[in-house]
Structure 1
């Protein structure tokens, strides 16, 4: 059970969130709606990250899933692992993301995981790894990957701190 109760999801902000979500509110949304300005800004930011970036879906979802693992955010993992598989990531390699032996991943995926680990664990990205990501993704892609990792670190920290597990509804 989450640390705070759900709020009554009414009003313009709740409707904008519902519209982005295809008509439904998630337990995360219901927690965010304790602060409408937060929920509204979050909805805009995460909407851009999820649907307006050029970053390939498999790389986006890979980064999100790795953040979930590193931050012990099970809700985030359960929400995004199926999206990662749907984006073409081999289902039999999902469990490899839960550990540090990533040899089964292709080079692009290893780069994204290493970059995600650096941003999440250390904040600073070593020059050689940054150059590798930039070569793989270009400048815009590197910015979008970095923003995705940063945004989902925010998501996971919010979920974990407020104990939002996703099974309340």
Structure 2
């Protein structure tokens, strides 16, 4: 049970914020939306950030979902792991890869399941989640694996976005 009550699903004010959230979610509000709407300004910023960091990125969907699942596993947030499993699989991830992500540390060494870019992404997620600081070696590895600096900034931001998402959800005892 969340620590704050979910606002009604039919909430329509503040209109601009709620409409933007619904547009991003295909016309509906998810329960987390109904929690963060307790602060309309946070909800507006959250939606704008999520749209930019997740919806307008050039990072391939499969790599985005790999980073999201790995980050959520590392943060022990099963809700986001379960929520993103269908998207990971729909983007071309395999059930074997998804299962391997239960141990991200071991998965980053599985060249039979993950290519170099994916393994570099897992290493980045591990360091950003556990150490916060990213080593020069890990940074160089992911920079070499990605096509350009835009992809690099976006991938780092995707991982950081799920740090924020997971922490807010955990603090609100959501899921």
The TM-score bracket by the shorter chain reads over 0.9
Distance 2:34 2:114 in 1: 36
Q: Tell me, which stretches of 5 or more residues in structure 1 are unaligned?
A: none
1:19-168 equivalences under 5 Å are 19-99=23-103, 100-102=105-107, 103=110, 104-137=113-146, 138-165=148-175
TM-score, normalization: structure 1?
A: 0.93
TM-score, normalization: structure 2?
A: 0.90
Q: Tell me, which stretches of 5 or more residues in structure 2 are unaligned?
A: none
Q: Is the 1:70–1:120 Cα contact (8 Å) retained in structure 2? A: yes
Deviation at 1:107, TM superposition (A): 2.1
Distance 1:163 1:22 in 2: 25
C-alpha distance after superposition, 1:65-110 (max 9, x if no partner): 1111111112211221211111111122212111132113222211
More relative contact order, 1 or 2 (CA 8 Å, 6+ apart): 1
Distance 1:157 1:20 in 2: 21
Give 4+ residue runs of structure 1 displaced > 3 Å after superposition: none
| Equivalent pairs, count | 165
